[in-house]
Amino acid sequence: MNVLDFGFGSIEAQLWLIAFLSIRCGAALMAAPMIGGNAVPVQLRILLSLVLGYFVASWVPIAPSPPMMSIAAVIAVLHEVAVGLMLGFVLQLAFAIPLVAAEQIAGTMGLAIATSIDPASGAQSGALGTFFGLVLSLLFYATGAHLLWFELLTESYRLLPAGQFAFGAWRAESVVMFFGYGLATAAAIALPVVLVLLLVQVVTGLIARSAPSLNLFALGLPAGVLAGIAAMIIALPMMTGQMRGAITAALEQTEALLQPEAP
């Protein structure tokens, strides 16, 4: 344990150390979907980042911080912001996976116009996307993934000492590649329901072709909605498995980004 000396002679250096260590935590909390939404006040996020910075300064072996008001300190602060945003953005991409899948399903079902207020961002989003986002959030907290993420955030100060490393280009490339994985996972989540809806549309088209007097919209829209709801109920265990895999992949990607060298 590191004992912080809060005497008058070193209080400025101690406060600078805590503020410097809280930059990475603050950037990660701003980018993470758990606390980065509008539902959490900015003042609370700043206070939480300072608290995390204090505990990191107390318990984690750290290198000396660069002198305050120097060029090295400015570069180190930019590095800390980049690392924090990287750790939070990977988790943000994982939480966007079910939203992309929900948009694919809602567009095929005809529910794209059904919107609701997203509690995380405060903006309007699809009702189906809000439901999928809540399912992923429940899985995230129920499996204890939030504790693992905070552990990785704290461990990052050991693996990537604050102000003592250069932000490699391979880390940005890894985040972009994880975005591709997220799109593939979103397609896998939506695939069973989209296939059922495609089959319903083909059958509806054949019926309308054979009986032109039937109202296609009055027949196809309720059939698509009912078939989509039934398909989601049947495929929900598989969807939750895909979401759980996305959470695991996000944590593994975060751990890989904390390695000092490119894998």
Q: Is there a domain that residue 1 lies in?
A: no
The whole-angstrom separation of Cα 34 and Cα 70 is 34
Q: Residue range 140-151: average pLDDT?
A: 88
Segment among 10-19, 187-196, 215-224, 236-245 with least mean pLDDT: 215-224
Contact 125, 118 (CB under 8 A): yes
Cα distances (Å, whole numbers) of residue 179 to 2, 171, 187, 188: 39, 13, 13, 14
**Strands, DSSP E only, in 71-121?**
115-117
Give residue 136's domain range.
11-257
Tens-place pLDDT, residues 58-86: 787 777 777 777 787 788 888 888 888 88
Determine how many CB atoms are found less than 10 A away from the CB of residue 108. 20
The answer on pLDDT for 112 being more than 70 is no
Q: Is there a domain that residue 31 lies in?
A: yes
Query: Total domain count for the chain?
Result: 1
Residue where the block lists tokens 């994880």: 178
pLDDT (0 to 100) of residue 78 = 84
The answer on pLDDT for 11 being more than 70 is yes
Q: Residue range 29-43: average pLDDT?
A: 75
pLDDT (0 to 100) of residue 30 = 85
The whole-angstrom separation of Cα 168 and Cα 171 is 6
Q: Is there a domain that residue 4 lies in?
A: no
Q: Would you state the structure tokens that stand for residue 35, as one six-digit string?
A: 């606390």
Contact 50, 42 (CB under 8 A): no
Identity (one letter) of the amino acid at 209? R
Distance of CA 97 to the CA centre of its chain: 9
Residue 125, phi then psi, degrees to nearest 5: -145, 170
Global confidence as pTM: 0.80
Taken in order 249, 254, 259, 261, the sign of the CA dihedral is positive
Tens-place pLDDT, residues 160-219: 877 666 666 777 788 888 888 888 999 899 888 888 888 888 887 777 777 666 666 666
Q: Is there a domain that residue 182 lies in?
A: yes
Share of the chain above pLDDT 70, in %: 81
Identity (one letter) of the amino acid at 242? Q
Q: Is there a domain that residue 181 lies in?
A: yes
Mean of per-residue pLDDT scores for the chain: 80
Q: Which of 40, 30, 29 shows the shortest CA–CA distance to 122?
A: 40
Cα distances (Å, whole numbers) of residue 50 to 21, 115, 229, 231, 244: 8, 37, 46, 47, 31
CB under 8 Å to 70, separation ≥6 — which residues? none
Q: Is there a domain that residue 128 lies in?
A: yes
Instruction: Tell me the residue length of the chain.
Output: 263
